[in-house]
Amino acid sequence: MAIQELLQTTNKELFTRYWEKSLLFSKATVSLGLASQNLDEWPQDLLNKIIKSTPVIITKDSQHIDNDFLLNEEVDGLTPTEKLLIMHEEGYTVYIQSIEKYFDELKQLKLRLEKEIYPLTSQFNIFLSPGGTIGLKPHFDSHDSIIWQLKGAKHWSFWKAHCQSMTDHIPENQETEKNKLIIENEPPLYEHTLQANETLFMPRGVIHGPRSLDYSIHLAIWLKAPLIESIKTVDENLIKNNASYHFF
């Protein structure tokens, strides 16, 4: 059971006790191979393939550099992989979306997980961060997530969650502005350090700020629920706000 392997809890307990309610800290009972190794240990042909076919974001303190920079070889004469590794050595986090496409063990885990969480879907994203760096400043996500620390240690700060009118899996501008106000005016409510092979379930809307303590690799497994776009029920609050909410 994928949920059991990742969070040491049952599917029923996850959705009744923690889903969109509470953080859950646990430990994975499975381990990975190549995906948990430093970026410079990944095969060159694999990195080339990833850069050319998958969204790769290089980020430091939420300042992003995307694939266009990597793929443009006319400016500096460096290959995309050479530029990626140089930026990584200079303290940039490498953030690769849908990494399950390139590792069979993750692909199989995704298939097993989605059988358990249907009608939700999942997406596996990997973050490789040099020690003592911040890839993304405090932010929130519009989907629940399982964080799996594959290597090293990463310290997490958490602020209170805030509600969103969920019309998409992308945060709305008004919610992003609210996020800034909370971070600027309130201290974190809780802090926790994830060590290798420890996991975290995090409900959507929870503001979080990760910082790597040493070389860190973690997976962010997005759990994306269907969105009900137009809810018209006898509930007067829903009608008044004309809001959209998760299926669960």
Question: Which tens digits make up the pLDDT trace of 100-115?
Answer: 999 999 999 999 999 9
Q: How far apart are CA 174 and CA 165, in angstroms?
A: 10
> Is residue 142 very low, low, confident or very high in pLDDT (cuts 50, 70, 90)?
confident
Q: How far apart are CA 57 and CA 60, in angstroms?
A: 10
Query: Is the pLDDT at 96 greater than 80, yes or no?
Result: yes
Question: What pLDDT, on a 0 to 100 scale, did the predictor assign at position 229?
Answer: 45
Give the tens place of pLDDT for each residue, 194-247: 999 999 999 988 999 999 999 999 999 999 887 654 334 434 444 454 444 343
Q: How far apart are CA 197 and CA 210, in angstroms?
A: 16
Token readout for 117 is 């969480």
Q: What whole-number percentage of the chain has pLDDT above 90?
A: 62
Whether 40 contacts 128, CB under 8 Å:
no
Give the pLDDT mean for 172-190: 81
Query: Is the pLDDT at 36 greater than 80, yes or no?
Result: yes
Question: What pLDDT, on a 0 to 100 scale, did the predictor assign at position 234?
Answer: 36
Spatial CB neighbours of 142, under 8 Å, sequence gap ≥ 6: 164, 166, 168, 169, 170, 171, 204, 205
Q: Three-state DSSP class for 192?
A: strand
Least confident of 93-97, 108-112, 134-138, 147-151: 134-138
Question: What pLDDT, on a 0 to 100 scale, did the predictor assign at position 66?
Answer: 78
Whether 218 contacts 193, CB under 8 Å:
no
Query: Is the pLDDT at 49 greater than 70, yes or no?
Result: yes
Please tell me the pTM assigned to this model. Answer: 0.87
In angstroms, the Cα distances linking 236 to 55, 159, 231 are 42, 30, 11
Whether 198 contacts 151, CB under 8 Å:
no
Question: What pLDDT, on a 0 to 100 scale, did the predictor assign at position 172?
Answer: 63
Give the pLDDT mean for 109-126: 95
Q: Three-state DSSP class for 228?
A: strand
Query: Is the pLDDT at 54 greater than 60, yes or no?
Result: yes
CA 207 to chain centre: 12
Give the pLDDT mean for 109-130: 95
> Is residue 165 very low, low, confident or very high in pLDDT (cuts 50, 70, 90)?
low
> Is residue 152 very low, low, confident or very high in pLDDT (cuts 50, 70, 90)?
very high
Least confident of 10-14, 33-37, 166-170, 208-212: 166-170
Give the pLDDT mean for 41-62: 92
Q: How far apart are CA 241 and CA 142, in angstroms?
A: 18
Report the residue count for the chain.
Answer: 248
E strands, the chain, where?
A: 24-27, 56-60, 63-65, 93-96, 121-129, 144-151, 154-161, 190-194, 198-202, 206-212, 216-224, 227-228, 245-246
Query: Is the pLDDT at 174 greater than 80, yes or no?
Result: no
Question: What pLDDT, on a 0 to 100 scale, did the predictor assign at position 207?
Answer: 92
Token readout for 217 is 């690799």
Q: Which residues are 27's β-sheet partners?
A: 198
Question: What pLDDT, on a 0 to 100 scale, did the predictor assign at position 167?
Answer: 56
Q: How far apart are CA 10 and CA 1, in angstroms?
A: 9
Q: How far apart are CA 94 and CA 91, in angstroms?
A: 9
